[in-house]
Structure 1
Amino acid sequence: MSSRERILGRVRRALSDVSGEDAPIERTYLREHGDRTVEETVELLAENLADYRAIVHRCTTADLPATLAGMLAARGAKTVLVPPGLDPSWLTEAGADQVPDRAGSTPHELDRIDSVVTACAVAIAETGTIVLDGSPDQGRRRITLVPDHHICVVRVPDQVVSSVPQGLERLDPVRPLTWISGPSATSDIELDRVEGVHGPRTLEVVLVADQASAEVNS
């Protein structure tokens, strides 16, 4: 008897008492851990983003253009990649040359870009995760994986949820979802951390709300 036959036999035995009809799945797990206010949820998001070594900024909607311009200047960015649906008002004060995303852009061309600015689909507080779904204000997946510096704008509190189950409810599973928890990093067998291998070496997240500006650095 082959290994395949053994495995399939075990599966058949395990399913022998299951009816052919689809049985309802009980979803009794917690939808979120703890009872938090909106403000506490946003604070948890900022804390977990920073814990993943993302750099977190806060500003008002009116301050966003100046905030982004300051971040690009601090980075020394001369070029910034812009998704086709990004709000043009966000980069009105940016000194860097704005490069539109093109379907024909090669990885080598994208690698020469200093920074990319995108919006997001949802931000998950409990895991410190930003999710992109390829919408026009986020662009194609490759533009957030090849450039070394990614700035992601999150609208607070509209785009912030507590948990992964709540985040999944807002996402379309047929869209190209990119889940980001901090800058790209990996470790070898000796646990030496290397950043920027599978995506940007630096991730900056801007939490935008109508409240006083503040900044939290990891």
Structure 2
Amino acid sequence: MSSRDLILGRVRRAIADVRQDDTPYEQAVDRSYLREHGRRSVAETVDLLAENLADYRAIVHRCASGELAATIAGLLAERAAGSVVVPAGLDAAWLAATDVTRVPDRLGSTPRELDAVDSVVTACAVAIAETGTIVLDGGPDQGRRRITLVPDHHICVVRVPDQVVSSVPQALQRLDPTRPLTWISGPSATSDIELDRVEGVHGPRTLEVVLVSDQPRADVTS
């Protein structure tokens, strides 16, 4: 008997006593909970996102769409990045102001090869203000999950306000659960038993989030 058969057998035994007329799952759970906490304007929601991202030690920048290429070039220059991983569907204009070596997101890239790359630039699927979370879904402008887990520096671009929602329930409405979702709240971090925080253990040590809109704003940094 395979592991699959064993698990399915346990499931069948667990539900053997469920009546055919039992309340359907989608009706059995009360889902009348709050969709968001409080009422906020679009600007207030974006401000909350920036505040919570910074609270998780992400570095937050704001710029207008016409300033995005220069902003990304400046962030790569500050890191003295010599190479950057680029998802296949990333807008080429985002990197037009830098001559940093582009490393394509390839199926055959090894962890060692990705670890040798200085930075990665991606878009995102959605950003959640109440939790300060960025969600990637492996779309063409985000690439494979591993390119955002191995390089030490991740620049993630969030389109404001289109990709910003208030809450997790609102985000789930936009996401496809069959896609490879990566939920990011700040740079990678963990703590030992004495609560000593260590960053960069299982993901990028530095996360920089660029909130790009048609209205320029001063940078907000953590």
Return the TM-score normalized by structure 1: 0.91
Which residue of the partner structure matches residue 9 of structure 2? none
Maintained 8 Å contact 1:73/1:95: no
Name the Cα RMSD after superposition. 1.7
Per-residue deviation, residues 94-130 of structure 1 (Å, max 9, x unmatched): 1311111111000000000000000000000000000
Please say if residues 134 and 141 of structure 1, whose CA atoms lie closer than 8 Å, have aligned partners that are also in contact. yes
1:176 aligns with 2:191: no
Q: Which residue number in structure 2 is paired with residue 134 of structure 1?
A: 138
Find the counterpart in structure 2 of residue 44 from structure 1.
48
Which AA in structure 2 matches 1:54? A
Residues matched between the structures, number: 207
Q: 1:20 aligns with which of 4, 8, 22?
A: 22
Paired residue for 2:165?
Answer: 161
In the alignment, is residue 34 of structure 1 matched against residue 42 of structure 2? no
Match for residue 201 of structure 1 among 205, 214, 219: 205
Is residue 80–residue 115 contact of structure 1 (8 Å, CA) maintained in 2? yes
Mapped partners of 1:95, 1:213: distance in 2: 26
Q: 2:96 aligns with which of 88, 92, 97?
A: 92
Shift of 1:213: 3.3
Long gaps (5+) in structure 1: 1-10
C-alpha distance in 2 between matches for 1:153 and 1:171: 17
Other-structure match for 1:71: 75
Secondary structure (helix, strand or coil) at the match of 2:102 reads strand
Measure the CA separation in 1 of the matches of 2:32 and 2:68: 41
Taking the aligned partners of 1:213 and 1:51, their CA distance within structure 2 comes to: 19
User: Can you list the C-alpha shifts for 1:14-64, whole angstroms capped at 9, x where unaligned?
Assistant: x88995341513211100000000000000000000000000000000000
Q: Distance in 2 between matches of 1:143 and 1:202?
A: 14
Q: Does 1:123 align with 2:118?
A: no
Letter in 1 for 2:198: V
- Whether 1:53 aligns to 2:57 is yes
Unaligned 5+ segments in structure 2 are 1-13
Structure 1 consecutive aligned stretches of length 4 or more whose deviation exceeds 4 Å: 15-19
CA distance in 1, matches of 2:46, 2:35: 17
